[in-house]
Structure 1
Amino acid sequence: MATRNDDEDGGSRLWRGMRQLIFGDDAEPTLRGQIEEAIEEAEESRPVAGDLSPTERQMLKNLLHFGDQTASDVCVTRGEIIAVPATISFDGLIAAFADAGHSRLPVYGDSLDEVIGMIHIKDVFVAKFDESRDRSISALMRTPLFVPESMGVIELLARMRHERIHLAIVVDEFGGTEGLVTIEDVVEEIVGDIEDEHDEEQCGLLTMLEDNLWEADARLELEELRETVDARLTAEDDEVDTVGGLTFVLAGRILLPGESVLHPSGWRLESVEADARKIKRVRLHAPEGAPDAA
């Protein structure tokens, strides 16, 4: 009778045989491939005391492909960036930080394609309680990193650590703003999502109010929207991946609550909650004549 070890050795031999069949006998196994194979075999085996936990295995698998990522892969997309204009008042800046819940905010000139700096909430806090401090936006601004979208995340992380700057503006080939990335975004590619006490609960992102009427958090991924509501709810721009981003791109601006825009599929996207910087909730009205219940 075959033992468990015999079965595991047989499985390993089968995998090596398949790999040789696909890649040829001359294919040299890489260290990355060997580690991945070992993790996969361990996941199928009985847990051993002192071995890697499932969380540690997942982190290790993430790390194996960490170097394949670029700044464009890990950044917050342009439509989700919360930034402030250079003309904002000090009181307006305080309100912006309170509403955004972030520790750093980019500052832009004429448009988001002209990011001229960033402001750290620590500097705002100091200026708030020190009347001798200059409270002008130019005095509070720091210089962020500007990195190309093609920069690898390993190099990006190294630059952030070396220059002690935790926020980078990702620019496209034309110099426009592609997105924003923080050091937390980079680290999350290894350890998974990091949530703190200020992060909002990611529940109730999509609710069916009645037949053919849905309401969605603007942060809802388009992929989930297509799977749940209608596969036609796509965006022409591949970089748009949220309901809020789709609504913004279709309208060309931030819609005020009550305003709506028509999607090519016939769905009408209505802004339910928004402020001067972003759309927060969207109501989706099905096309006329759509069958009841998606």
Structure 2
Amino acid sequence: MGDDHSHSSRGSATKSWLDRIAAIFTAEPQDLSDLVEVINEAAMRKLIDNDTQSMLQGVLDVSKMRARDIMVPRSQMATINIDQSLEQMMPLLLENNHSRYPVVNEDKDHIEGILLVKDLLQHSLQGNTEWNLRDLLRPAVIIPESKRVDALLKEFRQKRYHMAIVVDEYGGVSGLITIEDILEQIVGEIEDEHDDEEDVDIKKMASHVYQVSALTPVDEFNESFGTSFDEEEAGTIGGIVLHAFGHMPEKGETIELQNLTFKVSKANSRRLVQLQVIRAKTAADTSALQKD
């Protein structure tokens, strides 16, 4: 009897939640706040797990985004010049490990096309000593900064291309966007076999140099470095650093906080990923070096 009542209660709760979803779609809400509320309530009731909640929230977020919001900015685009030889390209290809690259003529406003590394590899294996890079290029897909991200994802899937060049209202190149950039808004950071493993939050690289995950909790960072960053300001050291910058920093930017130098080692359009932290050398360190 008790069990029947328990099953009935759970069934009623589930039905009530489903009824609410049905009611929302039937009512055709003017904004997404009702959907967000239902998703959050479903997570609280353990009807969906946290990962599912995050993915659903990501889908809703993508529906409000424009290409300019998540594109790789022009300054961070890895490009190949149309006049480069295979030998000249190799350092760039090995450093970035991308599957495709925009090919430019003189500057990034003049896109000749998109080079797929697999096309280059196939051509190289054929043993051709004389070849023209233009013959390997795929057409570049050009989109405006205002392009809706959800519409772009649909085009990526339907037309089977993976990269688009983003231009501003004057036709100048603003950046690029890939299908992976969009999917990461939904499922989070996508790591591949070329990405560095980041299982360890804090890794010592040299006597005063550390590699630190931006997701390192503030209390853990404070304990390791003897700092006093406020946990109320942000939960992770990446949040602290981002707040201090006041903007989304690019790779290589530095800032000094509490006698530490923070250098951005890895970042994407949405968040910091990896930081290099450098301790200032103390008088004791200098004295020890002089004795040596």
TM-score range normalised by the length of the shorter chain: 0.5 to 0.7
Say whether 1:185 aligns with 2:190. Answer: no
Inter-partner Cα distance in structure 2 for 1:89 and 1:105: 15
1:35 counterpart residue number? 35
- Residue pairs, 1:36-115, within 5 angstroms: 36-45=36-45, 47=46, 51-115=47-111
Amino acid paired to 1:242: E
Report if the CA contact (8 A) 1:71-1:149 is conserved.
yes
Instruction: Tell me the matched-pair count.
Output: 237
Report if the CA contact (8 A) 1:85-1:107 is conserved.
yes
2:249 counterpart residue number? 241
Report the Cα offset of residue 186 of structure 1. 1.1
Inter-partner Cα distance in structure 2 for 1:36 and 1:270: 36
Q: Deviations over 1:92-141 (max 9, x none)?
A: 22342222111011111221222221210110111111125863221122
Q: Deviations over 1:74-94 (max 9, x none)?
A: 211223221111121022223
Report if the CA contact (8 A) 1:94-1:124 is conserved.
no
Inter-partner Cα distance in structure 1 for 2:102 and 2:142: 12
Change (3 A) 1:192 1:268: closer
Query: Alignment partner for residue 227 of structure 1, among 240, 243, 249?
Result: 240
Change (3 A) 1:271 1:173: same
Report if the CA contact (8 A) 2:205-2:211 is conserved.
no
3-state SS of 1:144 partner: coil
- Residue pairs, 1:111-260, within 5 angstroms: 111-132=107-128, 135-202=131-198, 227-228=240-241, 234=245, 241-244=249-252, 246=253
Inter-partner Cα distance in structure 1 for 2:94 and 2:88: 10
1:254 counterpart residue number? none
Report the Cα offset of residue 37 of structure 1. 1.9
Inter-partner Cα distance in structure 1 for 2:264 and 2:49: 44
3-state SS of 1:68 partner: coil
Inter-partner Cα distance in structure 1 for 2:135 and 2:164: 20
Change (3 A) 1:67 1:98: same
Further displaced range: 194-203 or 55-64: 194-203
Structure 2 residue runs without a partner (length 5+): 1-8, 18-26, 216-235, 266-273, 281-292
From the two aligned structures, give the one with the greater helix fraction. Answer: 2
Q: Deviations over 1:214-273 (max 9, x none)?
A: 7779x979x966824x966x47xx6x52242x47xxxxxxxxxxxxxx99xxx999999x
Report if the CA contact (8 A) 1:117-1:144 is conserved.
yes
Inter-partner Cα distance in structure 2 for 1:194 and 1:104: 17
Report if the CA contact (8 A) 1:118-1:144 is conserved.
yes
Q: Deviations over 1:32-64 (max 9, x none)?
A: 43332222222223x3xxx43221222112112
Report if the CA contact (8 A) 2:111-2:140 is conserved.
no
RMSD: 4.5
Change (3 A) 1:74 1:86: same
Report if the CA contact (8 A) 1:59-1:190 is conserved.
yes
Identity of aligned residues (%): 28
Inter-partner Cα distance in structure 1 for 2:264 and 2:55: 38
3-state SS of 1:56 partner: helix
Q: Deviations over 1:134-153 (max 9, x none)?
A: 63221122122111111101
Inter-partner Cα distance in structure 2 for 1:130 and 1:99: 24
Amino acid paired to 1:227: I
TM-score (norm 1): 0.62
